Amino acid sequence: MHLCAGEFVTTEEARRRLHAYDELASTRNFSPALLVVREHLPSGKACLRVNIDATEIGNVARFINHSCDGGNLMVVLVRNSGCFLPRLCFFAAVDISEGEELIFSYGDAPRRPNGLPCFCGKEECMGVLPSEEA
């Protein structure tokens, strides 16, 4: 089954959208779904940045919430031979019970004071979602 799960955008475009999304989120209820994934290459000397924006075009993964405790899913970029663009895949990081909410950490980007609020409710909740500077 093929699931279209977001637009791949350049880093420049991702930063432009982050800025626009911050403005929208400050004026109304708005839930952006722009994910930045850094892929460390085997040499360890380089890092490939992949920006996926599922705000307008995405699948059910856009509704997976953040958890400050790391959640129960891990995110992996998977590459198929012959396919230039990777797929963002979610794998269970722990045993997950039926009916349990699927959650993952949106990353270790800094928590900006004016960032979107976090409602994960975990003991270690930092109160704000991780987010790059727009």
CB of 120 to Zn ion, least distance (A): 3
* Residue from 77, 102, 125, 134 in contact with Zn ion (CB under 5 A): 125
Rg (CA), the chain: 15
Looking at beta carbons only, is 10 or 31 nearer to Zn ion? 31
Using CB under 5 A, which of the segments 6-14, 33-41, 53-61, 120-128 binds Zn ion?
A: 120-128
How would you list the strands of the sheet with 7-9, edge to edge? 7-9, 47-53, 34-40
The residues in 8-27 that bind Zn ion, with binding defined as CB under 5 A, are none
From the number of C-beta atoms within 10 Å of its C-beta (0-12, 13-18, 19+), residue 108 rates as exposed
Write out the residues near Zn ion by the rule CB under 5 A: 68, 118, 120, 125
